[in-house]
Amino acid sequence: MIDMTGKTVLITGASRGIGEAAAHIFSGAGANVVLLARGAQQIEAIAAEIGEKALAVPCDVADWNSIKAAVDAAVARFGGVDVLINNAGVIEPIASLMDSDPTEWGRVIDINTKGVYYGLRAVMPLMAAKGGSILTISSGAAHNALEGWSHYCTSKAAVHMLTKCAHKEAAGRGIRAMGLSPGTVATKMQREIKSSGVNPVAALDWSEHIPPEWVARALLWMCTPDADEFLGEEISLRDEGIRERAQVRG
């Protein structure tokens, strides 16, 4: 069993899917969890289920001031942040480049890329004093172009490089930065992809998607020294060896 007692984990996009699963998995391991999302009602309900070790903070990750205030709230309640899980991300609207809406395309970059940067910027000065882990949800889309996903692929490629930069700049100060590419996960995003009918991912059968709890358990394992060989890199949850080490079954 991995013991996270006394640690505080801040999770973006915590209102559903991977974020919600991570909140339960980490709190079950003894951690304090700080749940960030725009949907205040959803994260408050999840925090109520977990109890006094959970704090719900309504937050728009695309807004620096909102992220900074959320981190300040975590520090005020629990004394610091030991783990940041950059999970918030969107893929809608799916559209070809020539048909894309410039404002909506930019909004995806604001959430998926700038939101990760804001999280890094807010927690790294805190972690520089005593160490910590920054775990970012990546994607195969960071390395492979897909039709209709120019905004998503671009944002995830940028996030992959942000992880490398964070490692290069801060590994010497005890900050462990890594990415996790989970493959396709049974979440609302996959339903949006399915309904778009665009590119081969939309054609996948629902049974091919892994449950979000698998991703959450992998994130928990990434907080342990057993994952240190991947610092600054991206871990693929499609790898059966990684699933075995992270005790992800199925």
The domain containing residue 110 runs over which residues? 8-244
Stated pTM of the model: 0.92
Q: What is the pLDDT of residue 122?
A: 98
Query: Residue 2 domain-assigned?
Result: no
> What's 232's domain CATH number?
3.40.50.720
Least Cα distance to 187 among 169, 166, 201 occurs for: 201
Q: What's the structural domain count of the chain?
A: 1
Q: What is the pLDDT of residues 90-126, one digit of tens each?
A: 988 889 999 999 999 999 999 999 999 999 999 999 9
Beta-carbon contacts of residue 188 (< 8 Å; ≥ 6 apart): 16, 17
No. of H helices and E strands in the chain?
10, 7
Q: What is the pLDDT of residue 152?
A: 92
Query: Residue 24 domain-assigned?
Result: yes
Evaluate if residue 3 carries a pLDDT over 80.
Answer: yes
Query: Residue 183 domain-assigned?
Result: yes
pLDDT-above-90 percentage for the chain: 79
Query: Residue 1 domain-assigned?
Result: no
Query: Residue 249 domain-assigned?
Result: no
Q: What is the pLDDT of residue 211?
A: 87
Evaluate if residue 71 carries a pLDDT over 90.
Answer: yes
Host H or E run for residue 40: helix 40-50
Q: What is the pLDDT of residue 204?
A: 66
203 pLDDT band, cuts 50/70/90, is: low
Q: What is the pLDDT of residues 123-150, one digit of tens each?
A: 999 999 999 999 999 988 899 898 888 9
Q: What is the pLDDT of residue 250?
A: 52
Cα angle for residues 177, 180, 184 (degrees, 5° grid): 165
Query: Residue 250 domain-assigned?
Result: no
Q: Is 241 exposed, middle or buried (0-12, 13-18, 19+ CB in 10 A)?
A: exposed
Residues annotated as catalytic are 152
